[in-house]
Chain A
Amino acid sequence: MAAGLAAPAFELEGITKRFGAVIANDAVDLRVAAGEIRGLVGENGAGKTTLMGVLYGMHRPDGGTIRVAGRTRRFDSPLDAIRAGLGMVHQHFMLFDSLTVAENVVFGSEPARGGVFDLAAARRRVARLAERYGLEVDPDSRVGRLPVGVRQRVEILKALYRRAEILILDEPTAVLTPGEQSALFEVLRRLAAEGAAVVFISHKLREVLELCHRATVLRGGRVTGTVETARTTADELSRLMVGKKVVAPQVPVHELGATVLGVESLEVRGRHGRSALHGLDLTVRSGEIVGVAGVAGNGQSELAEAVAGLRPPAAGRVLIGGADLTHAPIALRRRAGLAYVPEDRDGTGLAVAASVAENLLMGFEGEPRLAPRGVLDAEAIDARARGVVERYAIQVSHVRDPAATLSGGNRQKLVVGRELLRDARLLVVEQPTRGVDLSSIEVIHRALGDFSAAGGAVLLISSELNELMTLADRIVVMYGGRLVGELERDNASEERLGLLMAGAA
Chain B
Amino acid sequence: MRPWRTALAGLEGPLVAVGGAVAAGALFMVATGHDPLAAYGAMITGALGGRGLGNLLATLLRAAPIVGMGLAAAVAFRAGFFNLGGEGQLVLGGLAGAVVALALPGGGLLTALLATLAALLAGGLWALAAAFFEIRFRVPLLVSTLLMNYPARLFASYLVNHPLRDVGSGLPQTERIAGGVELARLGAGGRLHLGVLVVAATVLAAAFVVRRTRVGYRMRMAGLNARFARAGGVDLDRLGYGVMFSSGALAGLVGAVQVLGVHHRFIDGSLTDPLWAWTGLMVALLCGSRPLGVLVAGLFFAAVQTGGFGMERATEVPRELSRVLQALIILFVAAQARFGFGGGEREGTG
Contact = CB atoms under 8 A, between A and B. Distances in A.
Interface stretch (B167-175, B261-269, B341-349): B341-349
A435 B349 CA distance: 7
17 contacts: A19-B344, A50-B348, A50-B350, A170-B350, A171-B349, A310-B231, A331-B234, A334-B232, A348-B227, A349-B231, A350-B225, A353-B224, A363-B232, A365-B214, A371-B213, A376-B217, A398-B2
B212 to A, nearest CB: 6
Contacts of A229: none
A51 B214 contact: no
Nearest to B228: A351
Contacts of A334: 232-233
B215 interface: yes
Nearest to A353: B224
A354 interface: yes
A292 interface: no
Contacts of A362: 221, 228-229, 232-234
Contact of B2 (A49, A170, A349, A400): A400
A329 interface: yes
Given A47-B350, A48-B349, A348-B227, A374 B221 contact: no
Contact of A365 (B218, B345, B348): B218
A114 B232 CA distance: 57
A375 interface: yes
Most B CB within 10 A of own CB, among A310, A351, A352, A435 = A351
A400 B6 contact: yes
Interface of A: 19-20, 42, 44-53, 59, 91, 170-171, 201, 218, 308, 310, 329-331, 333-334, 340, 342, 347-354, 358, 361-363, 365-366, 371, 374-376, 378, 398, 400, 407-408, 435
Contacts of A201: 350
B235 interface: yes
B313 interface: no
Given A308-B231, A354-B221, A53 B214 contact: no
Contacts of A329: 233, 235
B319 interface: no
Contacts of A363: 232-233
B230 A310 contact: yes
Nearest to B233: A331
A408 B349 contact: yes
B105 to A, nearest CB: 39
A329 B232 CA distance: 11
B220 interface: yes
A361 B213 CA distance: 13
A347 B213 contact: no
Contact of A331 (B221, B225, B235): B235
A330 to B, nearest CB: 5
Given A350-B225, A354-B220, A49 B214 contact: no
Nearest to B229: A362
Contacts of A171: 349
Cβ-closest 6 pairs across A and B = A49-B350, A48-B350, A49-B348, A362-B232, A331-B233, A351-B225
